[in-house]
Amino acid sequence: MGAARKTKTDKTPGKNKTNTRTAREKPQVVFVGWVKPGINRWLSCLNSTYSKQILAKKHQQKGEPNKFPKGVCAMKFDNRIKEADQMLREILAMRPLSKHALKQLKEYYRIGLTYSSNALEGNSLTESETKVVLEDGITIGGKPLKDHFEAIGHSEAFDLLYKLARQQTITERHILDLHKLFYFRIDAKQAGHYRKVGVVITGSTLALPRPQEIKKLMRDFAADVEAKRAGTHPIEFAALLHIGLVSIHPFIDGNGRTARLLMNLALLQAGYPITIIPPVLRPDYIDTLKATNTGDNKPFINLLSCMVCESQRDYIRLLKNLDEG
């Protein structure tokens, strides 16, 4: 008997196209603009206890039954830098990549990083909605206009991130430009400029620098970047850049997203793929950052090393699938 067919009609206004495909037909692996899988699908393709811990934590947060063995939901972030080094060697052996593969991967991570980084800050757009906004230019009904601006702005900052990754330097101007692209649709006067007012972090007792201190702190921060890079493992270096920027909190808003872009810039320059922090790990992410307020950077470095490893696993999977395509 012939394979059963499923018919899906595109209901987008102005389109009368019917997309028919065979149920048994093997799906193509990655398209330009293909939606990065949701957290469940993304993690289910990774065969590690750590990934199961994240899924178990998500079920626990949503009040759902734990699908994994007892005790798996207890999150533990070990230092996995050695494992990341090993996977980096595997990734480097698979390069150089074709132009086609590079384009596929860039669009894959554009959606994934934009969605996850914005979601960590409370943006209400889902991953699929982020894709629609960025690729189709369609607004999502009932969602705040600011959430759309954040998605578009982050996507443009992502393009700059890729350009800067070709260099081996990180300057104060790079940081300002990343923030400007992300934020100018929200507040053009504040985009790419240091804040002129005092701010507080909700839920934190940390006293942030006063506005008049920021310029000097950022000059010193940028001046110390290359010396710090020279004597530090790339993952630790990326973590320290993130920690340093959020501790100064130089902008009126968008500090976390700029810090994650800066973190990824350091990783890309060292040969690592884009590293994503899943929104489901927001409490752990916040807790490890809070620990840095007292000078304990180890928990955040460990968490980042785990994020790098899981992102590397995803990257290797994609490369292998692209190679088979």
Q: Which residues are catalytically annotated? A: 249
Nearest in space to 264 (alpha carbons), one of 300, 296, 239: 239
**Which residue matches tokens 């090393």?**
305
Give the residues across from 18 on adjacent strands: 9
Quote the DSSP letter at residue 134.
Answer: I
Of the candidates 281, 279, 259, 275, the one whose C-alpha atom is nearest the C-alpha of residue 307 is 275
The torsion defined by the Cα of 67, 72, 74 and 76, in degrees rounded to 10, comes to -130
Rounded Cα distance between 259 and 257, Å, is 5
What are the two backbone dihedrals, phi and then psi, of residue 99, each rounded to the nearest 5 degrees? -60, -35
DSSP annotation of 9 reads E
Alpha helices (H) along the chain: 39-44, 49-61, 81-93, 99-120, 127-131, 145-164, 172-183, 211-223, 225-230, 234-248, 255-269, 282-292, 298-324
* CA gap 320, 49 in Å, rounded: 22
With contact defined as beta carbons under 8 Å apart, do 50 and 310 qualify? yes
CA 36, CA 174: separation in Å to the nearest integer?
Answer: 27
Query: Residue 247: which of 204, 279, 212 has the closest Cα?
Result: 204
Omega within 30 of 0 (cis) for the link into 144: no
Question: What is the helix (H) or strand (E) element at residue 22, kind and residue range?
Answer: strand 18-22
And the tokens for 162? 């890729």
